[in-house]
């Protein structure tokens, strides 16, 4: 019984110069509840507590010169090894960096299915390359932008993994995971009131026909993915119904009922006077 949602726990360690930043972030919301329930644990190790000089120095100058500093090697290595001893054997050491392999929902699922991992959050201009070679198993990037440090990226990885663990989400079959788990973007959502600023909730969602609603949502997920992230759609195996739903979505976008043709049609408020809002084939 090492799985099944009762005994399973994901052990996470974060090595960071800003322990209060990470500790504060994980106390909030879904991740905070997972911590309270003991489904996730987050340990934090600060390289500064392993600095040996009187000034507790954690930065050092880069060979080759130039502006900026690197994380000092020895306190960082000791912090990583201290944190790693608290993790189950085989837990990978992950360095958050813009040079890393893209972090995806699939990688989040893999990490959540494992026993634990260590996240190394860099600061300054980064870490000595030999430390990466020696102690890091994988570099992960959460996106193509530069941050001031790896802490926010580490919190992103923790959040994405924690919410996948059994017993963390109140609603186990979360819509977002179902949609993204299938490689598609989410469908649009609506709440009260039925009409807001002259925009009305699509009729199909008010009709109460669950099969029609499911069909509409699948179609929206397919259509929006095709429009916004065609790169994602390339990796999804579409069945005959999906292909038909997508065709229907595109046809309706090209010629929305009661509006001029064109990709911009249906975007402005003047196009939402009816009972629909960019809702092909509902």
Q: Is 125 an interacting residue with respect to ligand 9WO (CB under 6 A)?
A: yes
Q: Is 147 an interacting residue with respect to ligand 9WO (CB under 6 A)?
A: yes
Q: Is 146 an interacting residue with respect to ligand 9WO (CB under 6 A)?
A: yes
What's the CA gap between 263 and 230, in Å, rounded? 16
* Binder of ligand 9WO out of 94, 153, 165, 233 (CB under 6 A): 153
Torsion of CA 107, 28, 144, 97, to 10 degrees: -70
- The three-point CA angle 111-115-117 to 5° equals 60
* Binder of ligand 9WO out of 41, 82, 110, 141 (CB under 6 A): 141
Q: Which stretch in 111-119, 141-149, 191-199, 224-232 sits in contact with ligand 9WO by CB under 6 A?
A: 141-149
Min dist CB 131 to ligand 9WO, Å, is 12
* Residue tagged 């993915």 (tokens): 225
* Binder of ligand 9WO out of 25, 108, 112, 142 (CB under 6 A): 142
Min dist CB 214 to ligand 9WO, Å, is 35
Min dist CB 225 to ligand 9WO, Å, is 23
- CB-based contacts of 175, cutoff 8 Å, min separation 6: 186, 187
What's the CA gap between 271 and 250, in Å, rounded? 17
Strand partners, 120: 15, 95
- CB-based contacts of 73, cutoff 8 Å, min separation 6: 60, 127, 128, 130, 131
Total residues binding ligand 9WO (CB under 6 A): 14
Q: Which stretch in 10-18, 140-148, 161-169, 243-251 sits in contact with ligand 9WO by CB under 6 A?
A: 140-148
DSSP 3-state helix, strand, coil percentages of the chain (rounded to 5)? Answer: 40, 15, 45
Q: Is 47 an interacting residue with respect to ligand 9WO (CB under 6 A)?
A: no
Q: Which residues are near ligand 9WO by CB under 6 A?
A: 96-98, 122, 125-126, 141-143, 146-147, 149-150, 153
């Amino acid at each position: 019984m090492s799985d099944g949602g009762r005994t399973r726990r994901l052990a996470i360690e974060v090595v960071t110069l800003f322990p209060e930043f990470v500790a504060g972030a994980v106390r909030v919301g879904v991740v905070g509840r997972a911590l309270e329930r003991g489904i996730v644990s987050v340990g934090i190790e600060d390289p500064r507590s392993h600095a040996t000089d009187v000034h507790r120095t954690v930065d050092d100058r880069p060979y080759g010169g130039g502006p900026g500093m690197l994380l000092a090697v020895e306190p960082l290595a000791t912090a990583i090894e201290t944190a790693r001893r608290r993790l189950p054997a085989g837990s990978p050491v992950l360095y958050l960096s813009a040079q890393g392999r893209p972090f995806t929902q699939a990688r989040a699922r893999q990490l959540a299915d494992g026993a634990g991992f260590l996240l190394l959050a860099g600061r300054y201009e980064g870490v000595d390359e030999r430390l990466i070679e020696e102690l890091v198993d994988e570099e992960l990037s959460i996106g193509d932008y530069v941050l001031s440090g790896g802490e926010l990226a580490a919190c992103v990885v923790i959040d994405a993994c924690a919410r996948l663990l059994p017993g963390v989400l109140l609603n186990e079959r979360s819509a977002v995971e179902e949609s993204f788990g299938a490689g598609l973007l989410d469908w649009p959502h609506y709440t009260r009131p039925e009409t807001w600023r002259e925009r009305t909730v699509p009729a199909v969602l008010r009709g109460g026909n669950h099969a029609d609603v499911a069909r509409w949502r699948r179609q929206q997920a397919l259509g929006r993915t095709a429009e916004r992230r065609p790169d994602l759609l390339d990796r999804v195996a579409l069945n005959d119904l999906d292909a038909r739903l997508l065709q229907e979505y595109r046809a309706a976008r090209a010629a929305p009922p009661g509006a001029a043709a064109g990709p911009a049609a249906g975007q402005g408020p003047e196009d939402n006077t009816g009972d629909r809002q960019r809702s092909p084939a509902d």
